[in-house]
């Protein structure tokens, strides 16, 4: 159990929304600084290193900034996809035009020559919140899992992307054994040799301040996701963690990068490595 100190451009060492991959013989992590809940700093930063405990910023600035400034305009929910000699960095841009909300998913690529591409649009919507994208590469193309927030309803979706990473279709994704009286809020999905596994963050319907983190697996035969176990927080953290938040698996390791709100640092968002121990299934 180790606290991961991510030295973002803001200097707070407070980050959330982590996502990881292993590429070019290094660990790569993307996360958003979120010092004391200030959304204007919530801009994705990229880190890399040969060890989880030694991740260093790629630049002394974020990979992107919001389209507009002011209350309600912010970036969030970054994720990574490594394909050959390119690292794809996806993120969500929330635009607030006098109360009219538009949510957009963009991506940039970082290559082995340390060059960045311009931002490219995946999808834009004024009707759907499009939370927490997770991009997966398959033999037959690219797919984006996300949480749809439409008509005040939160649902788990899977979309198909074309070869330009533009969303061309999506449908609700079935998932069984979800906790009662809770909605999907954030997802983290990893593709392993034995299939897909996920870390799903649920938010209470009757108590929106109640967040719970669960493991899930994909049943390839039945074509359905299944929630399998609640993540038990280490006993040493029970007096420290206010809520768990969007988290991710550590690629190739038996561990989880847990994002949480720390009551001892004025409720700052922190990231900690914990063991992905065998837990009793639900």
Give 244-260 as a DSSP string. Answer: EEEEEEPTTSSEEEEEE
Q: Give the model confidence (pLDDT) of 245-259 as tens digits.
A: 999 999 887 789 988
Q: What is the pLDDT of residue 107?
A: 98
pLDDT value for 233: 79
Question: Are 123 and 129 spatial neighbours (Cβ–Cβ below 8 Å)?
Answer: no
- Provide the whole-model pTM: 0.92
- Dump pLDDT digits (tens) for 93-147: 999 999 899 999 999 999 998 999 999 999 999 999 999 999 999 988 999 999 9
**Band of residue 235 on the pLDDT scale cut at 50, 70, 90:** confident
The pLDDT mean for the chain works out to 90
Q: What is the pLDDT of residues 29-80, one digit of tens each?
A: 999 998 888 889 999 999 999 998 899 999 889 999 998 888 889 999 999 9
Q: Which of the four pLDDT bands, split at 50, 70 and 90, describes residue 280? A: very low
Residues 82, 108 contacting (CB under 8 angstroms): no
Cβ count within 10 A of residue 171: 11
Averaged pLDDT for residues 271-282 = 63
Contacts of 123 (CB under 8 A, 6+ apart): 104, 105, 130, 159, 166, 167
Contact 97, 104 (CB under 8 A): no
Q: For residues 75 and 59, what is the distance between their CA atoms, to the nearest angstrom?
A: 17
Q: What is the pLDDT of residue 253?
A: 78
Q: Do 110 and 87 form a contact (C-beta atoms < 8 A)?
A: yes
- CA–CA distance, 98 with 70 (Å, rounded to integer): 10
Compute the radius of gyration of the chain from its Cα atoms. 18
């Amino acid at each position: 159990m180790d606290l991961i100190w991510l030295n973002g451009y803001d200097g707070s060492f407070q980050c959330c929304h982590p996502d990881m991959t292993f590429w070019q013989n290094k660990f790569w992590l993307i996360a958003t600084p979120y010092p004391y809940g200030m959304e204007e700093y919530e801009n994705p930063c990229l880190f890399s290193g040969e060890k989880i405990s030694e991740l260093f910023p790629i630049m002394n600035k974020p990979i992107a900034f919001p389209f507009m400034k002011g209350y309600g305009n912010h970036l969030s929910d970054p994720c990574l996809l490594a394909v050959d000699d390119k690292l794809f960095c996806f993120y969500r841009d929330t635009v607030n035009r006098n109360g009219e909300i538009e949510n957009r998913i963009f991506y940039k690529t970082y290559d082995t020559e340390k060059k960045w591409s311009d931002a490219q649009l995946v999808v834009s919507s004024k009707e759907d919140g499009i939370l927490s994208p997770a991009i997966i590469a398959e033999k037959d193309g690219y797919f984006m899992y996300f949480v749809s927030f439409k008509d005040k309803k939160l649902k788990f979706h899977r979309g198909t992307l074309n070869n330009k990473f533009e969303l061309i279709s999506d449908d609700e994704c079935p998932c069984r054994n979800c906790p009662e009286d809770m909605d999907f809020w954030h997802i983290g999905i990893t593709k392993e040799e034995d299939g897909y596994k996920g870390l799903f963050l649920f938010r209470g319907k009757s108590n929106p301040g109640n967040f719970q983190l669960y493991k899930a697996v994909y049943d390839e035969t039945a074509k359905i996701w299944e929630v399998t176990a609640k993540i038990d927080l280490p006993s040493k953290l029970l007096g420290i963690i206010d809520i768990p938040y969007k988290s991710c698996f550590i690629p190739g390791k038996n561990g989880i990068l847990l994002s949480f709100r720390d009551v001892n640092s004025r409720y700052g968002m922190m990231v900690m490595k914990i063991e992905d121990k065998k837990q009793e299934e639900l």
